[in-house]
């Protein structure tokens, strides 16, 4: 089958392309942003790429077109597609019909932690010899790829609540029909498509309605929004996980925090094992519990799950240590919501209690640019000693005004050059620098690393 993918260079659609190619289809794609690393990965797979959406890519002997959710009416390629009469599908719909059918789908949903939890779960299943397929919105370091067809009935999917396509405004995850579902947490986000929290809870309720009675839903214990969700109806056994509440089905505590941390896991109040790992933070501990609960539901033993986590290498851009240069540690994290920022900074502070933490934030998500979380953002930097904000011109709020309560620890840059200069003038040995955004800071993390290396020859790559 000849498949063309519109919006192919996004992480999700690029994963769809890789799965389609692995399944034996002839795949091509179009995007406005055809550049590395995604373009390189796709071309290595033998996928022909078309720069731009001029509509010419729809010409030819195609069997169907898969449409990414970045596409909208009025786009020349969309208009050419609709005029062509070719069959077209959203990415989630194509995935459900061509990959997930007949699989034991393990979905990971929630506002925060989906990518890390799905990566942990896929790695646990792989370590256990189950050879799962997966589609994840990031790159797990254990696999070096974001999608794999797999060689078994198991398939792990990051279940995103963002809308599906211009012709399907339901959340992506309603297409996946998981047998095992983890819900990491539930907060208001995606203000560009959801008017309020209740609208998001309604979408999650549609997901819960699809999980079979013989399956499992594992949820963050004590999350009031998840309680509201489940109060609307649940027809599947529910387990809970928590790093704070020993009454949860699965609980855990750190026994040692350091370069290698150790934690113990309890099931229904009884300690069932412990392991060492290299990750930081209580939020990652809870991500691990969600992954353990899901893996055990698929038949993996607790001991094997803990052994796997001891070898889990994390996910790119999820509190990812880029480098240590003369005592200055550079981290990169995908945090783009106040709650995620809090948890990321808490994780660094838990290990680096006596060193300066430098938070660098780019408000780039639609929700952040709209200023929906302005009030919460003021309170998100308690664990930071200094806060730098890269303020783009399309922000609907003024960071200097909104974040004024931060006082002298706040610095706002209007462009990448200014931000880089500010950081170079501010940083000293021992600082822990944490870049947090779902964007790329216009290359500042890479430029800062290069500048520090040129000034400081003794460099240790992470």
- Domains of the chain plus CATH, in order, are 2-91 (3.40.50.720), 102-310 (3.40.1190.10), 320-461 (3.90.190.20)
Give the pLDDT of residue 462. Answer: 42
CB atoms within 10 A of CB 385: 14
First to last CA, the chain: 43
Q: Tokens in use for 263?
A: 């934690």
Give the pLDDT of residue 442. Answer: 76
Residue with tokens 């998840």: 226
* Residues contacting residue 67 through CB under 8 Å, at least 6 positions apart: 6, 7, 78, 81, 88, 89, 90, 91, 165, 166, 167
Cα–Cα dist 317/313, whole Å? 12
pTM listed for this prediction: 0.82
Whether 267 contacts 302, CB under 8 Å: yes
Residue with tokens 């009935």: 153
* Residues contacting residue 131 through CB under 8 Å, at least 6 positions apart: 125, 150, 151, 152, 154
Cα–Cα dist 210/177, whole Å? 6
Is the Cα torsion angle 42, 163, 76, 67 positive or negative in sign?
positive
Give the pLDDT of residue 453. Answer: 84
- The candidate with the shortest Cα–Cα distance to 333, out of 393, 405, 396, 280, is 280
- Bridge-based pairing of strands 216-220 and 88-90 is unpaired
Give the pLDDT of residue 158. Answer: 96
Give the pLDDT of residue 411. Answer: 87
- Bridge-based pairing of strands 320-325 and 328-333 is antiparallel
Is the Cα torsion angle 299, 301, 306, 308 positive or negative in sign?
negative
Cα–Cα dist 390/380, whole Å? 16
Residue with tokens 């797999």: 150
Whether 322 contacts 312, CB under 8 Å: no
Whether 15 contacts 95, CB under 8 Å: no
Whether 170 contacts 209, CB under 8 Å: no
Cα–Cα dist 341/383, whole Å? 10
Give the pLDDT of residue 367. Answer: 65
Q: Where are the alpha helices (DSSP H) in 241-373?
A: 282-297, 302-310, 338-351, 366-370
Q: Tokens in use for 129?
A: 């010899």
Residue with tokens 């500010």: 422
- The single-letter DSSP state of residue 83 is H
How deeply is 257 buried, as exposed, middle or buried, from its count of CB atoms within 10 A (0-12, 13-18, 19+)?
middle
Give the pLDDT of residue 23. Answer: 95
Whether 158 contacts 114, CB under 8 Å: yes
Give the pLDDT of residue 123. Answer: 98
Whether 457 contacts 380, CB under 8 Å: no
Cα–Cα dist 145/138, whole Å? 8
- The candidate with the shortest Cα–Cα distance to 328, out of 294, 354, 355, is 355
What are the average pLDDT values for consecutive 10-residue runs of the chain, which has 462 residues?
A: 93 93 95 79 90 87 94 95 96 97 97 91 98 92 91 96 94 96 88 87 96 97 94 97 92 84 93 90 90 98 96 79 86 79 82 83 74 74 87 78 86 88 91 84 84 62 42
């Amino acid at each position: 089958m000849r498949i063309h993918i519109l919006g192919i260079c996004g992480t999700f659609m690029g994963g769809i392309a890789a799965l389609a190619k692995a399944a034996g289809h002839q795949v091509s794609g179009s995007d406005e942003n055809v550049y590395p690393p995604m373009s390189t990965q796709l071309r290595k797979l033998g996928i022909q790429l078309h720069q731009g959406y001029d509509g010419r890519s729809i010409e030819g002997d195609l069997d169907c077109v898969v449409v990414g959710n970045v596409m909208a009416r009025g786009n020349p390629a969309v208009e050419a597609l609709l005029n062509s009469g070719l069959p077209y599908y959203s990415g989630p719909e194509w995935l459900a019909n061509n990959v997930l059918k007949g699989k034991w789908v393990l979905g990971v949903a929630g506002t925060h932690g989906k990518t890390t939890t799905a990566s942990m779960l896929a790695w646990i299943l792989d370590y256990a010899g189950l050879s799962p397929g997966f589609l994840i919105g990031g790159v797990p370091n254990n696999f070096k790829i974001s999608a794999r067809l797999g060689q078994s009935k198991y398939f792990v999917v990051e279940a995103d609540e963002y809308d599906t396509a211009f012709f399907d405004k339901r959340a992506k995850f309603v297409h996946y029909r998981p047998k095992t579902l983890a819900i990491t947490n539930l907060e208001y986000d995606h203000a560009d498509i959801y008017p309020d929290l209740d609208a998001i809870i309604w979408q999650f309720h549609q997901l819960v309605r699809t999980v079979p009675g013989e399956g499992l839903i594992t949820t963050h214990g004590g999350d009031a929004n998840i309680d509201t969700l489940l109060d609307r109806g649940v027809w599947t056994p529910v387990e809970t996980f928590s790093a704070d509440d020993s009454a949860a089905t699965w609980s855990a505590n750190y026994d040692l925090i350091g370069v290698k941390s150790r934690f113990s896991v309890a099931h229904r109040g009884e300690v069932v094992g412990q392991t060492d790992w290299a990750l930081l933070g209580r939020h990652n501990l809870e991500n691990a519990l969600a992954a353990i609960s899901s893996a055990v539901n698929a038949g993996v033993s607790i001991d094997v799950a803990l052994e796997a986590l001891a070898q889990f290498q994390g996910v790119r851009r999820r509190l990812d240590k880029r480098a240590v240069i003369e005592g200055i540690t550079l981290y990169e994290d995908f945090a783009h919501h106040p709650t995620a920022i809090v948890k990321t900074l808490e994780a660094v502070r838990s290990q680096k209690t006596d060193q300066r933490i430098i938070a660098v934030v780019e408000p780039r998500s639609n929700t952040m640019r709209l200023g929906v979380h302005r009030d919460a953002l003021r309170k998100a930097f308690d664990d930071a000693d200094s806060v730098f904000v890269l303020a783009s011109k399309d922000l609907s709020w003024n960071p200097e005004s909104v974040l004024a309560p931060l006082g002298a620890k706040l610095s706002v840059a209007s462009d990448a050059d200014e931000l880089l200069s500010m950081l170079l003038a501010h940083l000293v040995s021992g600082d822990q620098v944490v870049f947090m955004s779902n964007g790329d800071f216009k290359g500042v993390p890479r430029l800062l690393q290069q500048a520090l290396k040129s000034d400081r020859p003794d460099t240790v790559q992470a």
